[in-house]
Structure 1
Amino acid sequence: MRTVLVTGPGGAGRTTVAAATALASARSGRRTLLVSADAVPAFPVGAAPTEVAVRLACVRIDSAAHFRGELLDLQDRASGVLDLLGANRLDGEELTELPGSAQLAVLHTLRRAAEGDWADEGYEALVVDLPPLTEALALLALPGQLRRYLRRLLPRERQAARALRPVLAQLAGVPMPAQWLYEAAARKDAELAAVEALIEDNATTVRLVAEPGPSAVEALSTARTGLALHGLRVDSVVASRVLPRHSGDPWFADLAARQEKCLDTWHQEWASGTTVRETAHLGREPRTVEDLALLAGSCAPDDRTPGRAGDPWWTEDAGDGVIAWCLPLPGAVKEDLTLVRRGDELLLTAGPFHRIVRLESALRRCTVSGAALTDGVLRVRFTPDPGLWPRTQ
């Protein structure tokens, strides 16, 4: 399934571009699903996929309903423990969603589209209207982070004593929570794995939407580093609300000249494999299907193979037995990079972005002997540890 994840600086028109992208996809012959947490004026729908045009369905994420459902389900599963503690149950009507619930609702919706009850609808394309840029990058990294937390907090090897739990429960006279806890963790891990697979799939790309201007140039330049750090592939940069270039009005002509300067910068920065598209300023807020159709021509999903899926790291022979582990980090600044080796993991910080990478088996038997950022590529040098490598005769 072709998946396009749409994000950009707040107020740049990403929801409009996501809707236009979905409409263009449907008109090209794909059965398309548009997912958005915000209202799409042209497609007034609810929490279930609704047909809004030929071959196009739309669904709006209801984070409050998802929060209530998850918490009430947790109460039911932990009923024995809660009754033992004398806890008072919470009713759905009194629950107010907490910070962070919106991100979890997006992940839940992506899982339903990838392999849940919506996957049987035969959608050939998925367009997702993500939150603003900084939040979206954190959201796309969240499945891997949560899976890592689950493995650390509830390692599977601790389930070896599962057969003893019924006996312990009888001896203690109270229900043992470990069983349902591990089952819940395994279920959540499987759901997160499905979302992670969707994000890392070879047919998934990110589409950046920004209104040309100095602040947008800075925001997208910073985003390039975060996207590369997590191996996310950008298919295009969509410049929204582009003004006519040859206006007779000096004020509009000056604004158009500033936009054109920004567009030239993007064409230079994103030249390799990323298309810079333009959507015209309609002179009004797009609110109808006809308005979206005017923008759809510039928003059609790219049919080219998006690029290599999976982790962006690769290794090189640095000579003298040293292995260089390489990661492209366009836009990164050496002063903003931090590397920490902890056990079998490498903790990497690039400006506001963080990632924890599990080392390959060969690199775990090496020591970090240096790192350098050259031409937008970070190379971490690993020297084999004689005490951990088999000796040769």
Structure 2
Amino acid sequence: MLGRLAGVPMPAEWLYETAARLDLQLAAVEAVLADRDTVVRLVAEPGPAGADAVRTATLGLALRGLRTDALIANRVLPESDPDSWLAGPVAQQRKTLDEWRQSYDVHPVAHLGRDPGAPTTSPPSPYPRPDRLRHRHLAGHRPPRRRRRRPGLAHPLPGARRDELDLVRRGDEIVVTAGPFRRTVPLPSALRRCTVAGAALRDGELRIRFRPDPALWPRTR
């Protein structure tokens, strides 16, 4: 009506409906991410690209405090003769699998010899049943420690690199950026009365140090 009366171009009704639908979908995703009972199962093909993707996914999961129950290593090639042209790819996959097994509950799935989307009969699912998986946290993952003798926060970030980390204090929150991911962490009441004294990444764990602010912290007698 406004568009017809005032000649002002207005978005079509379908655009409002699309925006409302996206809002509902984002809210559903946020509810899943915020649920402490949520676990994640990663699926990747062993190799350089898969290793990079798993590292990035692990970083994002750790930033959100989520845990993984298994890593499905997809399209694993069979062992072959050392003189075969497959020897190189097999060795590359084996190296990645060995690295993954140090941090994950790995379940290899054999290469089918064809594209996974090709028509075929329905074989038994190669993926392990949830009740057969050993639930475990991300490598080095444990709930963030909030009570320490010295004011501070600690959060596991396995696979993180110093040059891709960024911290910003914003009022009563800490904005943590790790690679392509960002999370806003509300500070507990005690740390809201402190200033940030420094931060360090050690052994896959981000540690933020705080110093009591004399202007906000009660004086002791």
Same fold, TM exceeding 0.5? yes
Provide closer, same or farther for how the CA distance between residues 231 and 254 of structure 1 changes in structure 2, counting only shifts above 3 A: same
2:12 to 79, 90, 110: 90
Asked whether the 8 Å contact 1:363–1:382 carries over to 2, the reply is yes
1:235, 1:304 → 2: CA distance? 7
Residues 69, 135 of structure 2: 8 Å contact kept: no
Counterpart residue identity of residue 114, structure 2: R
CA distance 1:84–1:386, change in 2 (3 Å): farther
The DSSP-based 3-state class of the residue aligned with 2:146 is: strand
More helix by share: 1
Residues 202, 306 of structure 1: 8 Å contact kept = no
Contact 2:36 2:66 in 1 (8 A): no
Residue of structure 1 equivalent to 2:202: 374
Match of 1:364 among 170, 177, 192: 192
Change (3 A) 1:384 1:82: farther
Q: How many residues align?
A: 213
Shift of 1:223: 2.7
> What is the alpha-carbon distance in structure 2 between the residues aligned to residue 367 and residue 91 of structure 1?
49
Aligned counterparts of 1:236 and 1:211: Cα–Cα separation in 2: 14
Distance 1:243 1:375 in 2: 33
The aligned amino acid for 2:97 is L
Q: How far has the Cα of 1:236 moved from its partner?
A: 1.5
Distance 1:202 1:307 in 2: 12
Deviations 1:118-143 (A, max 9, x none): xxxxxxxxxxxxxxxxxxxxxxxxx5
> Which whole-Å deviations, capped at 9, do the CAs of 1:115-171 have from their partners, x for residues lacking one?
xxxxxxxxxxxxxxxxxxxxxxxxxxxx5xxxxxxxxxxxxxxxxxxxxxxxxxxxx
Alignment of 1:35-50 (within 5 A): none
Cα distance in 2 for partners of 1:343, 1:85 equals 43
Matched ranges for 1:69-148 at <5 A: 85-87=6-8, 90=12, 92=14, 105=22, 108-109=24-25
CA distance in 2, matches of 1:276, 1:229: 22
> Do residues 298 (structure 1) and 127 (structure 2) align?
yes
Tell me, yes or no, if the aligned pair for 2:69 and 2:134 is still in contact at 8 Å: no
Name the CA shift for 1:201/1:355 in 2 (closer, same or farther; >3 Å). Answer: closer
- The answer to whether structure 1 residue 250 and structure 2 residue 103 are counterparts is no
SS of the aligned residue for 1:314 comes to coil
**For 2:214 and 2:121, how far apart are their aligned partners in 1?**
68
TM-score (norm 1): 0.47
Structure 1: which 4+ aligned runs deviate by more than 3 Å? 81-89, 246-249, 286-291, 302-308
- Taking a change above 3 Å as real, the CA distance of residues 350 and 212 of structure 1, as seen in their structure-2 partners, is same
- In the TM superposition, residue 371 of structure 1 has moved relative to its aligned partner by 1.2
Q: 1:89/1:344 Cα in 2 relative to 1: closer, same or farther (>3 Å)?
A: closer
1:329 positional shift:
0.9
For the residue of structure 1 that corresponds to 2:206, the secondary structure is strand
2:219 corresponds to: 391
**Distance (Å, rounded) in 1 between the aligned partners of 2:211 and 2:4:** 56
Please list the CA deviations of residues 218-251 of structure 1 after superposition, one character each: whole Å capped at 9, or x if unmatched: 2222332222112121221111111111358701
CA contact (8 A) 2:191 2:210 kept: yes
The alignment's C-alpha RMSD in Å is 3.2
Match of 1:314 in 2: 145
**Residues 1:218 and 2:52 are matched in the alignment:** yes
User: Alpha-carbon deviations, 1:281-335, whole Å to 9, x = none?
Assistant: 11123455844x34x2434235666669xx94322424xxx31200001111223
Q: How has the CA–CA distance of structure 1 residues 200 and 332 changed in structure 2, closer, same or farther, with 3 Å as cutoff?
A: same
Q: Given residue 373 of structure 1, which amino acid in structure 2 is its aligned partner?
A: L
Using structure 2 for the length normalisation, give the TM-score.
0.79
* Structure 2: gaps (5+ residues): none
Q: What is aligned with 1:348?
A: 176
1:185-196 matched pairs, under 5 angstroms: 192=27, 195-196=29-30
**Greater CA deviation, 361-370 or 254-263?**
254-263
Secondary structure, counterpart of 1:370 in structure 2: strand
| Structure showing greater relative contact order (alpha-carbon pairs closer than 8 Å, 6 or more residues apart) | 1
SS of the aligned residue for 1:250 comes to coil
Q: Identity percentage over the alignment?
A: 48
Does the C-alpha gap of structure 1 residues 249 and 84 become closer, same or farther in structure 2, counting only changes over 3 Å? farther
Q: Evaluate the alpha carbon distance shift between residue 289 and residue 300 of structure 1 in structure 2; reply closer, same or farther with a 3 A threshold.
A: farther
